[in-house]
Chains A and B, each alone.
Chain A
Amino acid sequence: MISGQLDAVIPMLCVTLAGLVVLLAEAFRGRDERMPIGGLAIIGLLGAGAATMLLWDSGAEDSFGVVSADKFGLFVNLILVVVGLLTVIFSSQTIERDKLPAGEYYAVMLFAIVGMMLMGQATDLLVIFLALETMSIAVYILTGMRRDQQQSTEAAFKYFLLGAFASSFFLYGIAFLYGVTGTTNIDAMSTKIAAQAMSANPMILLGVGLLIVGFAFKIAAVPFHMWSPDAYEGAPTVVTGFMSTGVKAAAVAAFVRVFLKGLDPLILDWAPVLWWIAAATMIVGTVVGVAQTSVKRMLAYSSIAHGGYILAGLIAGNEAGKAAILFYLAAYALTNMGAFGVIALLGTRERANDDLRDYAGLWHSHPGLATLMTFFLLSLGGFPPTAGFVAKWYVFSAVIGATETGSIDTAAATGGYTLAIIGLLSSVVSVFFYLRIVVMMYMTDRDARPVPPPVPAIAMAGLIISLIGVLYLGVLPTRLIDFAQASISTIF
């Protein structure tokens, strides 16, 4: 039956269809005719969300066995739908202000989301690669959307060049794994590796190493993070929010699936490498972040550090760690979309207004935005009662739990404890630069800078929704945690 074979891809089909309709609408739009193109994107995303909920208990798989609608992928889908909806809501102001081509912007954004969803649901390395490229190519275009600005084009090219470079490493890794195991399917690969005890085979270790490079690049882990501050700074601010949450969520989802499922038999070989990457990512992201004066760059480094916390969950590798990753992605998506939403609203056509000093006295000109931003920054810093606190607490307790049960004494005798301590220290340091913005907003007088533009109601509604999400996950996290635990129980 046709529908049975296609069930697993319905969420992606909804978004693709919306993207195509958006392109057509733009093509048939008369000059100066106004069209609710963002509305079309929202309908497509809501459709994908509904399809995801309907598929929840189905466990459907497509007829080739390369895309699976398991709960893990669907959970990531839901995060991506939320990210997409918030991006569309915040984008309308940017598009109008910067005179971006609305049809192309929304279409490319929707195609990027298709790639992200496919990354979360794919169970075959080749399909993960295709999804990664679908997502990345679309995001390169979004980054360079402001063609009149040299910064934007330059950021897009840097991102593109290093992205394509990392993709070929990723693909080379797939080639070696295929060469050794004779398959690109993650399940089959895992069985084969476990059956033949391949950890001594240099070719498979090379393949795993190359895959780590590819994934580390996409989640901006040190030492493959160099592109991210530039790309984040040069891209239109809304796109930065989209990149830092959506791309990260999708890449982490594929990372978790490939490493904790396909390459799980080799965990003793890759866990120590990832331990160093995670530790370096947390430290560098925080320490360099402190030195930044551009808020966008600062949040880029904060995003690097958050990637490190997520990696810590991956290293824990136990039930709690996997569920913690999903929870972290959801909490981080809401918080960071909110923070970048606020920054986007403060920008003007000429400049992004993202210097730290531009936030001086924001409390006096925009008390609402200043309050919202404060909550988002507190959540990024990990203060209770926000989502960021619960997410961090949950990740680190998973790491400590895994150390106590002895499942990660691989890096060093007390590898897990050290990692948790590094994580806690770096999040304490990171509080400094989040609070610096807060201090600027409340306690510094506004100098003679122009007052930022008024805030459209719909964007404000989007921000308030993110805030409610952040506080809800901070005060009553149990429901989402149970949900996350149910999601991982089916595939691992």
Chain B
Amino acid sequence: MPLGHYLVLSGLLFAIGTAGVFLRRNLITLLLSVEIMLNAVNLAFVAFGRAHGHVDGQIITFFVMTVAAAEAAVGLALVIGLFRHRESLNPEAFTSLKW
């Protein structure tokens, strides 16, 4: 398969993730959307690495996955913290700061 196909898929995934961050109304889904964006980037790295014929792209992916895991841990901890205050996962419930 040519490189272009992978890039289009990666671009689509990235767009889906971006749209999710803006459109979804649930804190957990927001986190999932960010994860989709990171994985879209991973796909791009792997595809580019293969196109160049070296493994760098795939190695970078491991770093990104590690970072994503760390980020998810902090993100979920914050969601739990928020839930304890308001018993809600709807972002609209959290308005003690003006946006």
Give A contacts to B, CB under 8 Å: 126, 129-130, 133, 137, 140-141, 144, 147, 150-151, 153-158, 160-161, 164-165, 167-168, 171-172, 175-176, 178-179, 182-184, 226, 230, 233-234
Report the Cα distance A246→B30, complex, angstroms: 28
In the complex, which residue of chain B has the Cβ closest to the Cβ of A140? B74
- Point out the residues of chain B lying under 8 angstroms from A161, CB to CB: 21, 30-31, 34, 75
Are B38 and A154 closer than 8 Å at their CB atoms? Answer: no
Given A133-B67, A137-B71, 8 more A-B residue pairs with CB atoms under 8 Å apart are A126-B60, A129-B67, A147-B81, A153-B85, A156-B78, A157-B27, A157-B79, A157-B81
Are B60 and A184 closer than 8 Å at their CB atoms? Answer: yes
Are A165 and B79 closer than 8 Å at their CB atoms? Answer: no
Are A168 and B27 closer than 8 Å at their CB atoms? Answer: no
Give B contacts to A, CB under 8 Å: 14, 17-18, 21, 27, 30-31, 34, 37-38, 40-41, 44-45, 47-48, 51-52, 54, 56-57, 60, 63-64, 67, 70-71, 74-75, 78-79, 81-82, 85-86, 94, 96-99
Question: Per DSSP, are chain A's interface residues mostly helix, strand or loop, or mixed?
Answer: helix
Nearest 3 Cβ contacts at the A-B interface: A179-B48, A168-B37, A175-B44
Are B56 and A178 closer than 8 Å at their CB atoms? Answer: yes
Chain B's nearest CB lies how many Å from the CB of A61?
Answer: 19
- Point out the residues of chain B lying under 8 angstroms from A234, CB to CB: 96-97
In the complex, which residue of chain A has the Cβ closest to the Cβ of B60? A126
Are B51 and A137 closer than 8 Å at their CB atoms? Answer: no
Given A160-B75, A184-B56: A154 and B97 interface contact (C-beta under 8 Å): yes
Are A150 and B85 closer than 8 Å at their CB atoms? Answer: yes
Cβ-neighbour of A150 out of B30, B63, B96 (below 8 A): B96
- Point out the residues of chain B lying under 8 angstroms from A164, CB to CB: 34, 71, 75
Are B71 and A230 closer than 8 Å at their CB atoms? Answer: no
Cβ-neighbour of B57 out of A141, A168, A178 (below 8 A): A178
- Point out the residues of chain B lying under 8 angstroms from A154, CB to CB: 82, 85, 94, 96-97
Report the Cα distance A103→B63, complex, angstroms: 28
Given A150-B85, A184-B60: A144 and B98 interface contact (C-beta under 8 Å): no
Report the Cα distance A171→B81, complex, angstroms: 28
- Point out the residues of chain B lying under 8 angstroms from A176, CB to CB: 44
Cβ-neighbour of B52 out of A160, A165, A182 (below 8 A): A182
Are B56 and A165 closer than 8 Å at their CB atoms? Answer: no
- Point out the residues of chain B lying under 8 angstroms from A226, CB to CB: 99
- Point out the residues of chain B lying under 8 angstroms from A182, CB to CB: 52, 54
Are B41 and A171 closer than 8 Å at their CB atoms? Answer: yes
Are A230 and B97 closer than 8 Å at their CB atoms? Answer: yes
Chain A's nearest CB lies how many Å from the CB of B21?
Answer: 6
- Point out the residues of chain A lying under 8 angstroms from B75, CB to CB: 157, 160-161, 164
Given A130-B67, A140-B74, A234-B97: A153 and B44 interface contact (C-beta under 8 Å): no
- Point out the residues of chain A lying under 8 angstroms from B47, CB to CB: 179
Chain B's nearest CB lies how many Å from the CB of A445?
Answer: 30
User: A158, A165, A168 — which one has the most chain B CB atoms within 10 A of its CB?
Assistant: A168
Are B40 and A160 closer than 8 Å at their CB atoms? Answer: no
- Point out the residues of chain B lying under 8 angstroms from A184, CB to CB: 56, 60
In the complex, which residue of chain B has the Cβ closest to the Cβ of A182? B52
- Point out the residues of chain B lying under 8 angstroms from A129, CB to CB: 63, 67
Given A133-B70, A165-B34: A153 and B56 interface contact (C-beta under 8 Å): no
> 21 A–B contact pairs at CB < 8 A?
A133-B71, A150-B94, A151-B97, A153-B85, A154-B82, A155-B97, A157-B27, A157-B75, A157-B79, A157-B82, A160-B74, A161-B34, A164-B71, A165-B21, A165-B37, A168-B17, A168-B38, A168-B41, A172-B40, A178-B45, A178-B48
Given A126-B63, A171-B64, A172-B14: A153 and B78 interface contact (C-beta under 8 Å): yes
Chain B's nearest CB lies how many Å from the CB of A129?
Answer: 8
- Point out the residues of chain A lying under 8 angstroms from B44, CB to CB: 172, 175-176, 179
Are A233 and B97 closer than 8 Å at their CB atoms? Answer: yes
- Point out the residues of chain A lying under 8 angstroms from B56, CB to CB: 178, 183-184
Cβ-neighbour of B63 out of A130, A147, A153, A160 (below 8 A): A130
Are B41 and A172 closer than 8 Å at their CB atoms? Answer: yes
- Point out the residues of chain B lying under 8 angstroms from A158, CB to CB: 97
Chain B's nearest CB lies how many Å from the CB of A50?
Answer: 30
In the complex, which residue of chain B has the Cβ closest to the Cβ of A154? B94
Are A137 and B70 closer than 8 Å at their CB atoms? Answer: yes
Are B96 and A151 closer than 8 Å at their CB atoms? Answer: yes
Report the Cα distance A164→B97, complex, angstroms: 20
In the complex, which residue of chain A has the Cβ closest to the Cβ of B54? A182
Report the Cα distance A290→B78, complex, angstroms: 32
- Point out the residues of chain A lying under 8 angstroms from B78, CB to CB: 140, 144, 153, 156-157, 160
Are A230 and B99 closer than 8 Å at their CB atoms? Answer: yes
Chain B's nearest CB lies how many Å from the CB of A152?
Answer: 9
Report the Cα distance A175→B70, complex, angstroms: 20
Report the Cα distance A141→B81, complex, angstroms: 11
Are A153 and B81 closer than 8 Å at their CB atoms? Answer: yes
Chain A's nearest CB lies how many Å from the CB of B1?
Answer: 16
- Point out the residues of chain A lying under 8 angstroms from B52, CB to CB: 179, 182
- Point out the residues of chain A lying under 8 angstroms from B97, CB to CB: 151, 154-155, 158, 230, 233-234
- Point out the residues of chain A lying under 8 angstroms from B79, CB to CB: 157
Report the Cα distance A151→B85, complex, angstroms: 10
Are B41 and A175 closer than 8 Å at their CB atoms? Answer: yes
Report the Cα distance A164→B30, complex, angstroms: 11
